[in-house]
Chain A
Amino acid sequence: MRQSRLMLLQYLTGVGILLLGFLHFALLSFAGGGYRNALEFTSVVSVYTSFGLVFELFLVLLTYHIFYGFKRVLCELYQGKIYEKTVTWLMIVAGGATFLWGTRTILIFLGVLH
């Protein structure tokens, strides 16, 4: 994919993260009845079962935004075809692993995985 499209995706995921990040922040504070209450076992069960798919979307957006950001930073340090390809694949593997590990957590919360 062209770099301009990847960068556009970086901006769009950033906007999505801003909105969902605000929701995450709100659920841990004023919308969750205060930080202490929001982290009670029953509150966490209730939030994750209601917002499980929203957190999955949040995970998708964050994974792309962060690992593409890492790639951009690393490719600023040095330029070269092999180096850039290696960094790209390393970020795809690391991002993929992080995404799968996070998805496993959400599926456990949703009761899909036991």
Chain B
Amino acid sequence: MDPPGEEVLVRLLQNKAGVYRGWLKFWNRNWERWLYTMHRITGLGVGLYFVAHIWETSYSATAFIDVSNGGSPIVWSSLMNFLSNEFFHTELLLVVLAASFHALNGVRLFIAEQGLLIGKAKPPTFPMVPSSLRGGQRYLGIAIVVASFILTVYAFYQLFIIGLGW
């Protein structure tokens, strides 16, 4: 039986282990916890951007009504002029960073969940580090962070050097 609405809110706020300790307090934890938190944050960010992008493209679609007769290039140009500046391009750059990290880390999670790259199980010996934290997935985690930044540098080139003519 669920408690009434007010009690739900109180319990939501009291769920510190789920949000604060589980998500946000990762600085004194292992590398995988950092990746977990970043996966959640980037997922939420890209998800919210997706909804905004659907709204934004629906506005731009008005330029393509009756496109077989030429559409409205002026409407399109005015929208592009509005969006072509450092503010929106920085936002896109952050989206590229978040999306590429989220996508590549998703691949790492998929691989690890199949039992691959997590190291062989061993009897517990001092200093009691789980073998899964020594497996190849840890190095894959480092590789995906590096790859995400490389993709972001490429996106910077496209957005700022080519797009804005810096």
Contact = CB atoms under 8 A, between A and B. Distances in A.
Interface of A: 11, 14-15, 17-18, 21, 25, 28-29, 34-36, 39, 41, 44-45, 48-49, 62, 66-67, 69-70, 73, 76-78, 80-83, 98, 101-102, 104-105, 108-109, 111, 114
13 contacts: A21-B99, A21-B103, A34-B162, A45-B64, A49-B67, A66-B50, A70-B44, A80-B2, A98-B50, A102-B57, A102-B58, A109-B64, A114-B66
B154 A29 contact: yes
Interface of B: 2-3, 8, 11-12, 15, 18-19, 22, 40, 43-44, 46-47, 50-51, 54-55, 57-58, 61-68, 71, 73, 76-77, 80, 96, 99, 103, 106-107, 110, 113, 154-155, 158-159, 162-163, 165
Given A14-B106, A78-B8, A111-B68, A41 B63 contact: yes
Contacts of B155: 29
Given A17-B103, A77-B18, A80-B8, A29 B158 contact: yes
A50 to B, nearest CB: 13
Contacts of B158: 28-29, 34-35
Contacts of A67: 47
Contacts of B8: 78, 80, 83
A102 B54 contact: yes
Contacts of B22: 76
B163 to A, nearest CB: 4
A77 B163 contact: no
Contacts of B57: 102, 105
